[in-house]
Homo-oligomer: A and B are copies of this chain.
Amino acid sequence: MGGLNRRMTDGSETAVEFGHVRALNQSELLDTLSFDRDGLIPAIVQDARTKQVLMMAWMNATSLERTLALGETVFWSRSRQELWHKGATSGNIQRVVELRVDCDGDTLLILVEPAGPACHTGEVSCFYRTLEHHVD
């Protein structure tokens, strides 16, 4: 099975909850994207259900193409310099529910249904550390 499908695995539909949204077809999406000098674009991964931001990783054109074809996130590992199908070894794949692009086309926001924790530490989100609260 491949491609994006907004229906969650339990059969529910995710709602487009946030205001006005403009739909692009795949060719329009690709035309709007701006990759950096290394051929990469940052991809923010957000849980489609809880809205928790899970991680940020990088994609090149090939990993984006694989992501769209597979319906699961595939990144470019900058440290290993290779394609990285998230969850291929851990089982914690991220099923892509929706893919958005920002106003200047240089950042992706990917809404996913995660099969498990996003972080290699076992935390649900990579953003598990917070600056201490300090009051004026």
Contact = CB atoms under 8 A, between A and B. Distances in A.
Given A18-B124, A19-B124, A44-B53, A103 B119 contact: yes
The 4 closest A-B pairs by CB, nearest first: A51-B51, A102-B126, A100-B127, A56-B107
Count identical subunits in the complex: 2
A97 to B, nearest CB: 9
Interface residues of A, number: 55
A128 B22 contact: yes
A131 B100 contact: yes
Interface string A70-112: 0000000000000000000000000000111111100101000
A18 B21 CA distance: 27
Contacts of A124: 18-19
Nearest to A29: B131
Nearest to A124: B19
A56 B107 CA distance: 7
